[in-house]
Amino acid sequence: MTTTADLPTTLQTFLETSILPAEPLHEAHIAKFTHSDRWTLSAIPPTLHALQGKAQSLHLWNLFLPHPIPETLLHKNSTLSPPIPIQPPQILTNSQYAPLAEIMGRSPLASEICNCSAPDTGNMEVLLKFGTPYQQERYLLPLLRGESRSAFLMTEPDVASSDARNLETTLSPSQNKNGGRYVLNGRKWWSTGVMDPRCKMVLMVARTDPSLLQSPSAKGEAAATTVAASTTTSTRRERVPQTVVILPLPHPGIRLVRPLTVFGYDDAPHGHAEVELINVEVKEEDIILGLGRGFEIAQERLGPGRIHHCMRAIGLAARCYELMLERTLTRSTFSKPLHSHGSIREMIADSATDLESARLLTLSCAAEMDRKGNRSARDKIAMIKVAVPKLTLRVVDRAVQVFGAAGVCDDFPLARALVGLRTLRIADGPDEVHKQTLALIEIKKAKQRIQSKL
């Protein structure tokens, strides 16, 4: 059995011998499809399933899991066919998982092949920690087995969604006596994964109608969450209670309006979309944790997700850096190799420094999360979410410059990497929000130091 110490070597070997060689086949298969056919089951490369089976046999499946899977779910899984080992041999700490996420980040396929890709990982973590037995069996188990995919719906087109208090999608009391207890209406966009034909469930964040919070229990839960959340803002303005809802796909009230592109890339057959929610009937069993508990869930979901994003970004930038080095050794200008030019050497030195800085900062954050928990490491999480995308983006930008015209086309992974890392400065909250979070925590620490000296 693969031990924790063996995992990086096993994963690296798997990446180099199986995943990277499959990339051209993967891209060529998807390129056969156009328009809406790009989001069909036929567009999913057949190599993907075979590689996922190999990842399972190598014990490289579900490595991100922060907690053991409940015994009831393991028992249910044991009765299903084919047999899939949904629980990894060891539950890894953030510090142990971070280097593995970096290795997976070197290929756009690796995370999905190992069932460690967003948004599924965050959704699985939510269901593992907050889901009811019913929700875990219906939604979590197929995700753990890699039989379905999922989406997370939060951002909205008509408001600045970096402030969750602006969200307009609303969970209200239902007037339909024969339907669900609640009804959901609104519009979301940048809903990653919802276009995927394998997507069978969505988690979404909605504003909670105040009338739903009148019962003492619901009101108390929402108030506790609001007080805890309000301390993170400089004005301590009361936060509108949010609720997280889980729903199956396809669903009669959930309409996919259009696919969205990222700097021209559609990321099919996964992709992103604008989604309209029209009188979506919601039952009590569709609520995660309880009414008004959305902020609490979102913070638990985004903490680990942000460190996963950062480590994958480092792996991606490291691959681009290595390609840049190879380019400087094989190309010449003005009668000497590229690496002999002072400007190129400066790029190499700066890139090596940026990569190691990003890596060490993220590993420090991982260690802090392991020691103190996600909530207490909010300053470190905010720090890496700001710093790492910038540092890795600079590395890839230099690689593009060294490659010249070749760097901006799809013959090499540089252009797509540049787009992904630039987008990461917005995804999971823009830099400015994380800077504000970090600054407020630092100011609070300074006030406490001053107070302790009095």
pLDDT of residue 449 exceeding 70, the answer is yes
- Report the largest interatomic distance among the alpha carbons of the chain, rounded to a whole angstrom: 81
- Spatial CB neighbours of 373, under 8 Å, sequence gap ≥ 6: none
Give the pTM.
Answer: 0.92
| DSSP state letters, 198-220 | TEEEEEEEEEEPGGGG-SHHHHH
What's the pLDDT score for residue 27?
96
**R_g of the chain, CA atoms, integer Å:** 23
pLDDT of residue 239 exceeding 90, the answer is no
Q: What is the mean pLDDT of residues 336-354?
A: 98
What's the pLDDT score for residue 296?
84
The residue behind tokens 């997370």 is: 152
303 pLDDT band (50/70/90 cuts)? confident
pLDDT > 90: percent of the chain: 86
Q: Per 3-state DSSP, what percentage of the chain is helix, strand, and coil (rounded to 5)?
A: 55, 15, 30
The pLDDT mean for the chain works out to: 92
pLDDT of residue 274 exceeding 90, the answer is yes
Q: Is 446 exposed, middle or buried (0-12, 13-18, 19+ CB in 10 A)?
A: exposed
Q: What is the mean pLDDT of residues 203-211?
A: 95
- Give whole-number Cα distances, 307 to 10, 190, 323, in Å: 22, 20, 25
- Give whole-number Cα distances, 261 to 106, 209, 265, 426, in Å: 22, 33, 5, 15
1 pLDDT band (50/70/90 cuts)? low
454 pLDDT band (50/70/90 cuts)? confident
What's the pLDDT score for residue 232?
42
What's the pLDDT score for residue 164?
87
What's the pLDDT score for residue 193?
95
Q: What is the mean pLDDT of residues 21-50?
A: 97
**What is the CB-side half-sphere exposure of residue 254 using CA atoms within 13 A?**
24
pLDDT of residue 224 exceeding 80, the answer is no
Identity of residue 273 = A
Q: What is the mean pLDDT of residues 309-333?
A: 97
pLDDT in tens, 381-408: 999 999 999 999 999 999 999 999 999 9
CB 119 within 8 A of CB 28: no
Give the span between the Cα atoms of 415 and 406, in whole angstroms. 9
What's the pLDDT score for residue 222?
53
- Three-class DSSP category at 436: helix
- Give whole-number Cα distances, 348 to 2, 69, 289, in Å: 36, 44, 49
pLDDT of residue 226 exceeding 70, the answer is no
Give the span between the Cα atoms of 201 and 144, in whole angstroms. 13
Give the span between the Cα atoms of 205 and 152, in whole angstroms. 8
What's the pLDDT score for residue 451?
93
pLDDT of residue 4 exceeding 90, the answer is no
Nearest residue to 389 via CA among 353, 417, 350: 417
Q: What is the mean pLDDT of residues 130-152?
A: 97
**Which token pair is 301?**
């979901």
Q: What is the mean pLDDT of residues 74-96?
A: 95
pLDDT of residue 188 exceeding 50, the answer is yes
